[in-house]
Amino acid sequence: MRIDELFAAGPTHSFEFFPPKSDAESVVLERTLNELEPLHPSFISVTYRGGRESRQRTFDLVTRIQREGRLTAMAHLICVGHTRAEIRDILKNYLDAGVENVMALGGDIPDDPALVASEFTHAIDLVELARETGEFSIGVAAHPQGHPRSKDLATDRYYLAKKLELADFAVTQFFFEFEEWSRLVDELGALGVEKPVLPGIMPVTTLTGIERMTAMGARVPESLANRLRAANERGGASAVRGEGIRAAVELSQQLLDAKAPGLHFYTLNRSTATREIHRSLFGV
């Protein structure tokens, strides 16, 4: 199904994966998919880091999932390193394979200088091309704390609103306080945009994760960091993990109570933490 139609039918729950780079990673991902499929996700999302090899891995995984008919899949696309003709061909190939959900992203600047050249300036250019190419349901990224490359929060919200005027929905970077999502939605509403903003969830389950999350563009609030440190003093690594799961459950429940359009879980291709959170929220 189209993801915009899924939102219209009620709250969704979805999972995000990255395509495997090796046979060993393929085994792990296949096991994770099998473990999460009984939770009946509304859709799954497959990332793409750039480069021809990564692009093909994403395409192969998304189209295989779609062909098997087990799950609804959304494919990530990025601007960096692509010509308009290349992206148009990719989009047409997805349409031919029956994939009608795409995530239009700017993309991180790759380490390989040969991959930087692009005929796109911003993600909105990719949204426009997808609209021209076919009847896609199009998602874009939203950053509750602001995109790392944004000049300031007001500028970030302005350009996000422009993207959402053309796209169907947004999926947020993971975050850790309910107010971050509610403020984002309110600020978009003040700009006249009321498209669904799907909150992204990823628990912090280790103390080293505090710094890692911040480096990935989602600062961990001091209140949560203190909870995790206190758990470590009580019971070590296992206690930290349990506290991080509880915090994610609390955040998820706040979002559901506030009528968020759903929950989007960043799995890192593992199912255990996601299944624990899902079970606490939904009993399965």
On whether the CB atoms of residues 197 and 188 are closer than 8 A, the answer is yes
Contacts of 263 (CB under 8 A, 6+ apart): 11, 12, 13, 14, 198, 199, 201, 252, 255, 256, 281
Count of C-beta atoms within a 10 Å radius of residue 4 = 17
Residue 95's nearest CA partner among 132, 41, 42 is 132
Q: Which of 5, 16, 30, 243 is catalytic?
A: 16
How far is 116 from 249, CA to CA, in rounded Å? 39
Residue 114, Cβ density class (10 Å: 0-12 exposed, 13-18 middle, ≥19 buried): exposed
- For tokens 């696309």, name the residue: 77
Instruction: Answer yes or no: 16 catalytic.
Output: yes
How far is 65 from 75, CA to CA, in rounded Å? 11
On whether the CB atoms of residues 33 and 63 are closer than 8 A, the answer is no
The three-point CA angle 181-187-190 to 5° equals 145
How far is 16 from 43, CA to CA, in rounded Å? 9
How far is 85 from 271, CA to CA, in rounded Å? 37
How far is 261 from 75, CA to CA, in rounded Å? 20
Active site residues: 16
